[in-house]
Amino acid sequence: MALYAAAGSLTRSAPQFAQANGAGVTLCRFDDEAGILTPCAAPVRVEDSTWLVADPARRQFHVVTDCDDGRQSALASLQLARETEALTSLGSVPAGGHEGCHAVLSADGGAVFVANYGGHRAGGIQAGLAIVPVGSDGPRPTIATFEHEGHGPNAARQESPHAHCVLQSPDGRFLFVADLGIDKLVAYELSGGALAPRPRPELDVTLPPGLGPRHFVFAADGAHLYLVSELTPAVTTLSYEAATGRLAVEASISLVAVEGQNVQPSGIVLHPDGVHLFVALRLTDEIAVLAIDQQTSLPQIVGRYPSGGRTPRDLALSPSGRFLLVSNQDADCITIWPVSRGELGPKPSSSLAIGTPMAVALAEFN
């Protein structure tokens, strides 16, 4: 087994981003003993690759990108050659919305669920969720799209729906979408399979106004969900009832810095130990570490560490949990930090120069 990391980057300037110095998708080998990324070849040109999904069974990476000169989101698939370690394109298909920002492979491997941030626009494609079938030949035409409705109290950021993260429940029966624009976790049932989600509005979770839910992860035991919010910086704990698919808010902990500086959270990941959460904080360029109490399942902040660069947009843990990879968007680098017992090391293991990294995905391939 070889451990690979694929990193996406911003290739074209956009008003909401400071810069765009990327060249596409860079494939690297990752040394999980030393914490070093080694590029396999020159980047593959995939415009504005904002999110990547590993598909080891097919030796593929699925990439959230765009088409129509950026007017519509798209999903591309890249095939990893066994002998040459080269990535080749299997094509791309439109993904029913605009400003795609997150995706996940269905539990059965038959589809990729794509979250589109773009929201409503006059006369344009505006689905918040798209269902894209995938196979050995790459992505197939999108077969279903879903629009969210509503807005939030933050006029600048919540003028319309803004889907930001999509995940299946641990048992694969439900699909949840964090929508920053309407302060909701939007629920879908998958009883008809991954290709036929069914909206379940009675299972939607309405969150505090202005929270701005961004990303979330399920707990190791599958009984809780940890949600990081962008507009009100916090980690919110929700219980999850697998039998019914019902979520309920239990508690929330602020991520605002002790000194009172504002922060803008981005990604959240759960360590393989099932105890520690790592949250990327923009504006202060930090990584917050939270420890989950094993009796209450509620997390508490136990440390704050430098991210290694400006604007940590995404983060990922190596399979062993020994290293944390941080995509520092405006520093043009991915910084690799050693991790031990929930603490980051005093200095990075290494850093890899990549223009405007947006996300990184790791997976072991045969």
**Using one digit for the tens of pLDDT, what is the confidence trace for 121-175?**
776 778 999 999 999 999 999 999 999 999 999 999 999 999 999 999 999 999 9
Residue 69's contacts (CB-CB under 8 Å, 6 or more residues apart) are: none
Instruction: Tell me the β-bridge partners of 317.
Output: 324
Q: Look at residue 70 and tell me whether its pLDDT is greater than 90.
A: no
336: confidence class by pLDDT, cuts 50, 70, 90: very high
> Is the pLDDT reported for residue 120 higher than 80?
no
Q: State residue 15's pLDDT score.
A: 81
Tokens of 245: 């698919």
Q: What is the pLDDT of residues 78-112, one digit of tens each?
A: 999 999 999 999 999 999 999 999 999 999 999 99
Nearest to 60 by CA among 81, 38, 36, 32: 81
What does the DSSP 8-state code read for residue 21?
A: -
pLDDT class for 268, splitting at 50, 70, 90? very high
Q: 186: which strand partners? A: 177
Q: Mean pLDDT in the chain?
A: 96
Tally of CB atoms within 10 A around 228: 28
Q: Among all chains, which residue has been given the structure tokens 């976790």?
A: 185
Q: Please say if the pLDDT value at position 229 is more than 90.
A: yes
pLDDT at 242 over 80: yes
Q: Which residues of 110-130 are buried (b: 16+ CB within 10 A; e: fewer)?
A: ebbbbbbbbbbeeeebbbbbb
pLDDT at residue 260 in the model: 78
CA 128, CA 118: separation in Å to the nearest integer? 7
Dist. CA 69–CA 39, nearest whole Å: 28
Q: 19-30 as b/e, with b when 16 or more CB fall inside 10 Å?
A: ebbbebbbbbeb
Give a three-class secondary structure readout of the chain.
Answer: CEEEEEEEECCCCCCCCCCCCCCCEEEEEEECCCCEEEECCCCECCCCCCEEEEEHHHCEEEEEEEEHHHCEEEEEEEEECCCCCCEEEEEEEECCCCCEEEEEECCCCCEEEEEECCCCCCCCCCCCEEEEEEECCEECCCCEEECCCCCCCCCCCCCCCCEEEEEECCCCCEEEEEECCCCEEEEEECCCCCCCCEECHHHCEECCCCCCEEEEEECCCCCEEEEEECCCCEEEEEEEECCCCEEEEEEEEECCCCCCCCCEEEEEEECCCCCEEEEEEECCCEEEEEEECCCCCCEEEEEEEECCCCCEEEEEECCCCCEEEEEEHHHCEEEEEEEECCEECCCCCEEEECCCEEEEEEEEEC
Query: What pLDDT score does 63 carry?
Result: 98
Binned at pLDDT 50, 70 and 90, residue 10 comes out as very high
Q: Looking at 195-233, which runs of residues are DSSP E strands?
A: 198-199, 205-206, 213-218, 224-229
Sheet strands (E) in 106-192: 111-116, 129-135, 138-139, 144-146, 163-168, 174-179, 184-189
Residue 40 has a CB neighbour count (10 Å cut-off) of: 18
| pLDDT higher than threshold 80 for residue 187 | yes
Is the pLDDT confidence value at 119 over 80? no
- Structure tokens given for 183: 């302060």
Against a cut of 0.95, is the pTM above it?
yes
Any idea which residue has 């799209």 for tokens? 145
Q: What are the Cα distances from residue 281, in Å, to 76, 217, 249, 268?
A: 29, 16, 22, 10
> Strands 357-365 and 138-139, how do they pair?
unpaired
Residue 300: pLDDT band by 50, 70, 90 thresholds? very high
- 263 alpha-carbon distance from chain centroid: 18
At the top level of CATH, the class of 2-259+354-361 is mainly beta
Q: Please give the pLDDT value at position 246.
A: 98
**pLDDT attached to residue 36:** 98
